[in-house]
Structure 1
Amino acid sequence: MYELILLAPVQEVETLSEALDALDALSVSVEDADAHTPAEQALFGEPGMPPPKAGWERSRMVSLFATEALARDAASVLALQEFFAGCQLVAVQPVPEQDWVRLTQSQFTPVEITPDFWIVPTWHEPPAQAKQVIRLDPGLAFGTGTHPTTRMCLQWIAGQGAAGKPLGRVLDYGCGSGILAIGAAKFGALDIDAVDIDEAAVGTTRANAEANHARLQAGLPDKAVGTYQTVLANILATPLRVLAPLLCAHVEKGGNLVLAGILERQADELKAAYSPYCQLQVQQAQDGWILMTAQF
């Protein structure tokens, strides 16, 4: 396998990407050409909002080709195009052989939720201090325990367990990988429904639950029936606002609603959306994200 490396101004990145695709590139990646220099530009966007900028002023584009001939032919064709005038060919070079499985696995290490509760990939041994462990591998669905929203939800679940407060019947709405539902099972919940609009997430949840010997029912959102002592929803602020009446209708009297996927600056709008049903409070904050809870 060979890679063709180009430098391109922001206005030509999309055109180049389309041209490389047409020239049989197996993949195309784009990164800041000035990364790790004083000229580096950080681009931070928010879910559901337009990006603040179209891209970096100078982009490094790396495209993969099956053979050297294909990569060099692509470079020759691109050099003749008018849109390539402001671009630059950096290199055509072989991709070094690597153990990609081991390389990928090395990026995921055990995640501490509490000192004795850990998320541990299957290829790692649990830490000696771990009393509760969720075995979870990265998959297509969101939720590996590394994101602050997931950690805060799991810390809340563990806190309930440590305080001797039963979770009762549990609903994990927008279950993703199933990590919150599995966490609830680890801390004593026996009747758990995990639902998601994505069928792939439902399948991932079932597989992860089986791997962790966690008993739960996973399905599409219509599988959430009746009321629950604990309702967990780690999604994003916009769908959480829309789902306010539905989620609150699923919480039984005396039960708990636990919401995550919310930025700190979105706290007031979530409080307003849920005010007809409950009084949401900020329970915890990590790295700009917050956990909000309410008791009914």
Structure 2
Amino acid sequence: MFELSLMCPESRVETLSDALDALDALSVSVEDADAQTDAEQALFGEPGMPPPKGGWQRSRVTALYATEVLAKDALSLLQAQDFFADCQLLGLQDVPEQDWVRLTQSQFAPVDITPEFWIVPTWHEPPAQARIIIRLDPGLAFGTGTHPTTRMCLRWIAQQGRPDESRAKNELGRVLDYGCGSGILAIGAAKHGATDIDAVDIDNAAVESTLLNAQANEVKLNAGLPDVVTGAYQTVLANILATPLKVLAPLLWSRVAPGGALVLAGILERQADELKAAYAPYCQLKVSDQEDGWILMTATR
């Protein structure tokens, strides 16, 4: 397999990517050529919304080809096009065969949520200090415990779900995980004492993933599409993104029982005021945690 790397300005990213696709590239990816430098640019987008920009001012476009001949032929054809005038070749190199399964596994090490609460892939031994463990491997649905939004939700669950000197009982109560993905938050709630848990998602693959992960972790929960939700919950969790969270404000708040908690994640620090405004008719959201530019927002009914 051969990797063809090209540099191009933002205005040429879409044209160049389409051309590489048409020239039988196995895959095409776009990255910030200035990543990990002071000139790096952050681009944040949300599912279902158009990307904020088509690329970066200096974009690295990488295409994989089955053979060196195909890669060189593609390059020759591209260099003859007018749109390639502002682009340049960065390199053409052989990509050695690898054990992709082992490589993927090496990228997912155990993740600590608290000193005693860990997310551990099935191919790893749990750390010695781990008392509460969720076994979870990368899969089709979002949520492996590595993203700050997931970790913050799980930290909140751990704080509420385990008695300490100031808390005599489990305070999670009946739990709703709205937009459950892999089911990691619902499973985390079960691991911390919740016994009546509904996990819902609009994606059937996420529902299936949640059921399989719950079985693997030997916990009981109900998983299905959002129409299975009934009644009120002591804890309503939604780790999605800012735009759908704003749309869902009346629905999510309507499911919070008196004295219950609403826990929202998938929100960037700069989006805090947007969320506060969207939920102002129902509750007063506050920032309860933050990590790497993301925040956790909560409210009590």
TM-score (norm 1): 0.91
Alignment CA distance shift 1:52-1:156 (3 Å): same
User: What residue in structure 2 maps to residue 226 of structure 1?
Assistant: 231
CA drift at 1:19: 1.1
User: What residue in structure 2 maps to residue 124 of structure 1?
Assistant: 124
The alignment partner of 2:86 has SS state of coil
User: What residue in structure 2 maps to residue 208 of structure 1?
Assistant: 213
Q: Counterpart amino acid of 1:203?
A: E
CA drift at 1:46: 4.6
Of the candidates 284, 289, 293, which is equivalent to residue 289 of structure 2? 284
CA drift at 1:208: 1.2
2 CA distance for matches of 1:30 and 1:78? 17
Does 2:56 correspond to 1:74? no
Q: Counterpart amino acid of 2:9?
A: P
Gaps of 5+ in 2: 164-168
Contact 1:43 1:52 in 2 (8 A): no
2 CA distance for matches of 1:295 and 1:43? 33
State the Cα RMSD in Å. Answer: 2.1
User: What residue in structure 2 maps to residue 113 of structure 1?
Assistant: 113
Q: Deviations over 1:251-294 (max 9, x none)?
A: 22222221222233433443333333333333222233222222
Q: Deviations over 1:228-262 (max 9, x none)?
A: 12111111222222212211221222222212222
1 CA distance for matches of 2:217 and 2:137? 11
Does 2:187 correspond to 1:182? yes
User: What residue in structure 1 maps to residue 267 of structure 2?
Assistant: 262
CA drift at 1:195: 0.4
User: What residue in structure 1 maps to residue 148 of structure 2?
Assistant: 148
1 CA distance for matches of 2:276 and 2:30? 39
Gaps of 5+ in 1: none
Contact 1:257 1:294 in 2 (8 A): yes
User: What residue in structure 1 maps to residue 31 of structure 2?
Assistant: 31
Contact 1:113 1:151 in 2 (8 A): yes
2 CA distance for matches of 1:266 and 1:84? 38
Q: Which moved more, 1:274-283 or 1:8-17?
A: 274-283
2 CA distance for matches of 1:121 and 1:86? 45
Does 2:199 correspond to 1:194? yes
Alignment CA distance shift 1:81-1:194 (3 Å): same
User: What residue in structure 1 maps to residue 166 of structure 2?
Assistant: none
1 CA distance for matches of 2:268 and 2:89? 41
Q: Deviations over 1:126-162 (max 9, x none)?
A: 1100000011112232211122221111111111122
Contact 1:34 1:58 in 2 (8 A): yes
Contact 1:227 1:249 in 2 (8 A): yes
Question: What is the percentage of aligned positions where both structures have the same residue?
Answer: 73
Contact 1:259 1:291 in 2 (8 A): yes
Q: Counterpart amino acid of 2:44?
A: G
Q: Counterpart amino acid of 1:17?
A: S
Alignment CA distance shift 1:129-1:43 (3 Å): same
CA drift at 1:197: 1.1
1 CA distance for matches of 2:287 and 2:96? 49
TM-score (norm 2): 0.89
Q: Counterpart amino acid of 1:98?
A: Q
